[in-house]
Amino acid sequence: MFTRLFGNTNTTNKPWGTKEENGVGKFNDFTDTALEEIKKLGVSHIWYTGVPHHGVIGSFPEIGVKSDDPDVIKGRAGSPYAVRDYYQVNPDLAVDVTKRMEEFEALIERTHQHGMKVIIDIVPNHVSRHYEGKKQSGRSF
């Protein structure tokens, strides 16, 4: 599952559009109902892609994250394979960016409650030009 696309019902698809213009899926879009329907398809594992915090266009001052340089990002949403911080999740995928890890952990718990296992897609040797690696709260995924 490409997490930022799941649950995004906005079909604008404007080139170089903002999150407000094009929308973005959230961890919370994987509701109990959605996960149950996925399970009914015979799915035993969900491979969540684009979860690590990768380079994106957009600031998150509430968590001390500045926007990446638009000259080196693949579109505003960035590439999920240009990781900015392996110890955090993409703030675009959270409803409340200050609780992004908690929202991700809740998604993992919901997935397990529906009898499915989780795979997280990461590429350990692909980092963004603005890699920071700020491990916070002693927690990482």
Give the separation between CA 95 and CA 72, rounded to whole angstroms: 26
Rg (CA), the chain: 15
Give the separation between CA 134 and CA 141, rounded to whole angstroms: 13
Collapsing DSSP to helix, strand or coil, 116 comes out as: coil
88: enclosing H helix or E strand? strand 83-89
As a whole number, mean pLDDT of residues 38-64 equals 94
Most confident stretch, 79-83, 116-120, 136-140: 116-120
Write out pLDDT tens, residues 4-48: 999 999 999 999 898 999 999 999 999 999 999 999 999 999 999
What letter would DSSP give residue 138?
A: T
Give the per-residue pLDDT at 135.
61
